[in-house]
Amino acid sequence: MKRNENLVPLSRDHHFGLLCSWKIRQGIKKNVSYDRIKKYINYYWQENLSRHFEIEDLVLPETENNILQIQMEKEHIEIRKLINTINQTNDIRILGDFANALSNHIRFEERMYFPHLEEHLSDVKLNNIGAQLEQIHQKENDFYQDEFWK
């Protein structure tokens, strides 16, 4: 099924999240040091994933069946907890747990939550999501193109 154009920016982020999970698994398989993988996870969290979660929590509306919304929010919390645990331990299993939680979360959103939104939200509501995502993207672009940075 083709993704509704208004949700495509979030799905594009998901592609990079799956790539992050794959890189972590490859690092574990190749015995890359815990600290190096931890630095990569923290970089990805700070530069991408934390903002992605904030945006989803902000722009995705509740629907009649908010069980899926609740699951999304619980998984966001679980992943945040894993980030904290990664920074407080040297247990390599936690790195794998994070990679699995992230990829499972993305698959849930792509296979269940987004199709649910596409089926149950009106075109007006989906267009509103798209407009909000565009506005957020534009504000971020404006920030980086500001005279201050030149």
d(CA 128, CA 60): 10
pLDDT bracket for residue 74 (50, 70, 90) = very high
Query: In terms of Cα–Cα distance, which of 8, 96, 83, 19 is closest to 46?
Result: 83
Query: Residue ranges per domain, the chain?
Result: 5-136
Give the whole-number percent of the chain exceeding pLDDT 90. 85
pLDDT bracket for residue 93 (50, 70, 90) = very high
Q: Name the pTM for this structure.
A: 0.89
pLDDT of residue 85: 98
Question: Are 129 and 63 a contacting pair, CB within 8 Å?
Answer: no
d(CA 105, CA 71): 9
